[in-house]
């Protein structure tokens, strides 16, 4: 009985589980590009290391090492890898730093001072970034692990007390190596928890698409990393701005990502597009009214001829009134994605009326229109764009089959009117696109769209349109200092 109850609860939980409308997979092929851009930024951050003064006494010698600055950093060997379950691991080996500092030495009454160059060699760094979902549904660096070590240091001492410095060099450089070790991990901790999170804050989570609808890109769970990729599940749902708490139930199939040949893959289910169309429907955007001169001249003449019998029975004051053609979508359009292509089905009412000035309009006819549009998707920059084309079109009467036969002559002119007058307006909007959840400064290039049963995938490569430092500096938090919080793992000495 207990087993039956547990099984029932598991099935109930599964029935209420919501599938993502959008998935993104970043593959290991993207890591080389990310590493190149990231190392340039990391080099600049490590060059800002502040090393405390080193002062002390050895017998009758008093020494003070101050104004230590990193002048050069060479990261000769590095690897960036995904680590299950949620980590991104960076390993740097055999790196070197160039240093410059001020020396001061007092021996009895003799004083020596000046600046000197030094080098730290065999620098090794191993740092891991743990990625997770925060309460707002945004991806964050939630933890940073770090180990760092400097295997050896060398300083070319000179001046009056060169032999004395040579005697003390092992002691002084060992102290500097210890201090340098202690400064590397706090810098990396600050880069991960503050600066990289500022970059991730540029990813849209719940934002406006236009003046009518918004989109929810909140993460549904923590990112999942394997040895070859990082997978992220986003809700991928549109909503009317006037009904921010409204949500369309997701009954579409779950999109699947299997490929790993490109840098990144994005998958969209039918739910993603259905929620967009239903949001615009609820916002009252899926209707069009053409009056007077807005109705194409040839169509105006044809409509008046078609309904001549009804028009001549009207009063003379109404006969010459402007014609009105109104299209109103009756139900939210639905998207169907198949390997052969993507189609959108629309059912709308078509109302034809005369609109006399300062009088109620006079309806001549009301009919139903069924249309099927083909949709082609593309990624440009970081926007998903759609090109629509009217493929199938049918009108019929709401009243009788006989009237439907009488509407056959209107079929071709109305379809032409839709193709010439309505489709360009739709495509002007859909081609603006909707932003994909990527950080600022990163775009898609060389995309390939593949249709599947119930979802489509887009494989692409990544391109840094802006440098990582440029984006982070633009979005850097007000507190620009290195985090005072201790790093998760202290530096190795």
**CATH number of the domain encompassing residue 93:** 3.15.10.10
Tell how far CA 410 is from the center of its chain.
46
State residue 213's pLDDT score. 94
What is the mean pLDDT of the segment spanning 468-474?
A: 84
C-alpha atoms less than 13 angstroms from C-alpha of 227 in its C-beta half-sphere? 0
Residue 164 lies in a domain: yes
Question: Which of 148, 176, 201 corresponds to the end of one domain?
Answer: 201
Burial category of 415 from C-beta neighbours within 10 Å (exposed 0-12, middle 13-18, buried 19 and up)? middle
Query: Are residue 134 and residue 271 in the same domain, yes or no?
Result: no
Identify the weakest region by mean pLDDT among 166-180, 190-204, 385-399: 166-180
Query: Are residue 265 and residue 327 in the same domain, yes or no?
Result: yes
Structure tokens at 194: 């503050």
What pLDDT band is residue 20 in, cutting at 50, 70 and 90? very high
Residue 472 lies in a domain: no
> How many CB atoms lie under 10 A from the CB of residue 187?
21
CA atoms of 219 and 205, how far apart (whole Å): 8
- Between 404 and 343, the more confident residue is 343
Identify the weakest region by mean pLDDT among 243-257, 374-388, 392-406: 392-406
CA atoms of 468 and 390, how far apart (whole Å): 43
Question: Which of 201, 217, 248 corresponds to the end of one domain?
Answer: 201
- Between 68 and 156, the more confident residue is 68
Report the chain's C-alpha Rg in angstroms.
34
Query: Are residue 312 and residue 447 in the same domain, yes or no?
Result: yes
Q: Are 283 and 305 in contact (CB under 8 A)?
A: no
Helix residue ranges per DSSP H, 155-291:
162-190, 197-200, 270-282
Total number of domains in the chain? 2
What is the mean pLDDT of the segment spanning 335-349?
A: 94
296-306: pLDDT as tens digits: 777 778 777 77
C-alpha atoms less than 13 angstroms from C-alpha of 353 in its C-beta half-sphere? 17
Per-residue pLDDT for 195 more than 80?
yes
Question: Which of 201, 222, 256 corresponds to the end of one domain?
Answer: 201
State residue 318's pLDDT score. 75
Query: Are residue 176 and residue 210 in the same domain, yes or no?
Result: no
356-367: pLDDT as tens digits: 887 888 888 788
Q: Residue for token digits 């950093």? A: 73
What is the mean pLDDT of the segment spanning 280-286?
A: 92
Structure tokens at 236: 């991928």
Residue 33 belongs to domain spanning:
23-201
Residue 2 lies in a domain: no
Q: Are 475 and 440 in contact (CB under 8 A)?
A: yes
What pLDDT band is residue 4 in, cutting at 50, 70 and 90? very low
State residue 3's pLDDT score. 45
Query: Are residue 173 and residue 220 in the same domain, yes or no?
Result: no
120-149: pLDDT as tens digits: 888 888 999 999 999 999 999 999 988 888
Per-residue pLDDT for 493 more than 50?
no
Mean pLDDT, the chain, whole residue set: 82
Give the rounded percent of residues in the chain with a pLDDT score beyond 70: 85
Tell how far CA 345 is from the center of its chain.
29
Q: Residue for token digits 């707002």? A: 136
CA atoms of 458 and 349, how far apart (whole Å): 35
- Apex CA 302: angle with CA 353 and CA 417, to 5°? 80
Query: Are residue 67 and residue 116 in the same domain, yes or no?
Result: yes
Query: Are residue 180 and residue 214 in the same domain, yes or no?
Result: no
State residue 406's pLDDT score. 66
Give the start-end residues of each E strand in 453-493: 455-464
Collapsing DSSP to helix, strand or coil, 468 comes out as: helix
Structure tokens at 212: 């009518």
Per-residue pLDDT for 470 more than 50?
yes
Query: Are residue 164 and residue 297 in the same domain, yes or no?
Result: no
Identify the weakest region by mean pLDDT among 248-252, 408-412, 430-434, 440-444: 408-412
Query: Are residue 233 and residue 143 in the same domain, yes or no?
Result: no
Q: Are 457 and 266 in contact (CB under 8 A)?
A: yes
CA atoms of 472 and 282, how far apart (whole Å): 38
Residue 36 lies in a domain: yes
What pLDDT band is residue 350 in, cutting at 50, 70 and 90? confident
Structure tokens at 333: 């359009």
State residue 6's pLDDT score. 44
Query: Are residue 452 and residue 353 in the same domain, yes or no?
Result: yes
Structure tokens at 58: 């050895």
Identify the weakest region by mean pLDDT among 5-14, 23-32, 410-419, 482-491: 5-14
> How many CB atoms lie under 10 A from the CB of residue 214?
17
Residue 211 lies in a domain: yes
State residue 341's pLDDT score. 93
CA atoms of 155 and 118, how far apart (whole Å): 4
State residue 163's pLDDT score. 61
Residue 275 lies in a domain: yes
Query: Are residue 187 and residue 244 in the same domain, yes or no?
Result: no
Query: Are residue 181 and residue 215 in the same domain, yes or no?
Result: no
Structure tokens at 192: 């991960």
Q: Which of 97, 78, 100, 81 is nearest to 89 (CA)?
A: 81
State residue 309's pLDDT score. 67
Kind plus residue range of the DSSP H or E element containing 16: helix 2-16
Which CATH number belongs to the domain containing residue 450 in this structure?
Answer: 3.15.20.10
State residue 260's pLDDT score. 86
State residue 11's pLDDT score. 42
Non-local CB neighbours of 311 within 8 Å, separated by 6+ positions? 304, 319, 354, 364
């Amino acid at each position: 009985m207990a087993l039956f109850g547990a099984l029932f609860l598991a099935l109930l939980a599964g029935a209420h589980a919501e599938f993502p409308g959008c998935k993104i997979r970043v593959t290991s092929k993207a890591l080389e590009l990310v590493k190149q851009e990231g190392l340039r930024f990391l080099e600049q951050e490590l060059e800002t290391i502040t090393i405390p003064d080193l002062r002390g006494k050895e017998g009758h010698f008093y020494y003070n090492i101050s104004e230590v600055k990193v002048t050069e950093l060479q990261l000769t060997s590095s690897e960036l890898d995904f680590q299950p379950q949620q980590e991104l691991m960076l390993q740097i080996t055999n790196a070197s730093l160039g240093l410059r500092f001020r020396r001061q030495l007092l021996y009895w009454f003799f004083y020596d001072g000046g600046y000197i160059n030094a080098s730290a060699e065999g620098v090794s760094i191993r740092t891991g970034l743990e990625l997770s979902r925060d309460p707002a549904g945004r991806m964050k660096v939630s933890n940073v692990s770090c180990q760092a070590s400097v295997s050896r240091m060398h300083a070319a001492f000179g001046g009056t007390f060169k032999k004395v410095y040579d005697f003390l060099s092992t002691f002084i450089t060992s102290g500097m190596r210890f201090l340098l070790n202690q400064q590397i991990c706090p810098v990396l901790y600050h880069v991960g928890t503050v600066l990289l999170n500022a970059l991730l804050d540029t990813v849209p989570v719940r934002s406006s698409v236009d003046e009518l609808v918004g989109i929810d890109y909140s993460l549904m769970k923590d990112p999942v990393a394997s040895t070859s990729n990082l997978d992220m599940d986003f809700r991928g749902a549109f909503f009317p701005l006037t009904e921010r708490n409204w949500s369309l139930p997701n009954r579409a199939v779950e999109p699947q990502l299997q490929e790993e040949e490109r840098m990144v893959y994005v998958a969209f289910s039918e739910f993603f597009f259905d929620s967009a169309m239903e949001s615009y429907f609820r916002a009252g955007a899926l209707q069009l009214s053409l009056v007077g001169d807005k109705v194409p001249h040839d169509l105006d003449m044809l409509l008046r001829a078609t309904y001549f019998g009804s028009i001549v029975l009207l009063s003379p004051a109404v006969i010459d009134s402007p014609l009105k053609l109104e299209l109103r979508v009756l139900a939210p359009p639905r998207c169907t994605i198949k390997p052969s292509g993507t189609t959108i089905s629309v059912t709308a009412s078509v109302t034809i009326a005369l609109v006399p000035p300062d009088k109620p309009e006079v309806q001549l006819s009301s009919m139903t229109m069924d249309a099927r549009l083909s949709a082609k998707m593309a990624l440009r920059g970081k926007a998903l764009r759609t090109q629509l084309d009217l493929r199938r079109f049918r009108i019929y009467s709401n009243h009788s089959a006989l009237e439907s036969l009488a509407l056959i002559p209107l079929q071709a002119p109305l379809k032409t009117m839709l193709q010439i007058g309505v489709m360009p307006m739709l495509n002007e909007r859909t081609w603006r696109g909707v932003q994909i959840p990527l950080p600022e400064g990163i775009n898609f290039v060389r995309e390939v769209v593949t249709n599947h049963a119930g979802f489509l995938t887009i494989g692409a490569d990544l391109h840094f349109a802006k440098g990582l430092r440029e984006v982070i500096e633009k979005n850097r938090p007000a507190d620009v200092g290195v985090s005072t919080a201790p790093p998760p793992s202290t530096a190795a000495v």
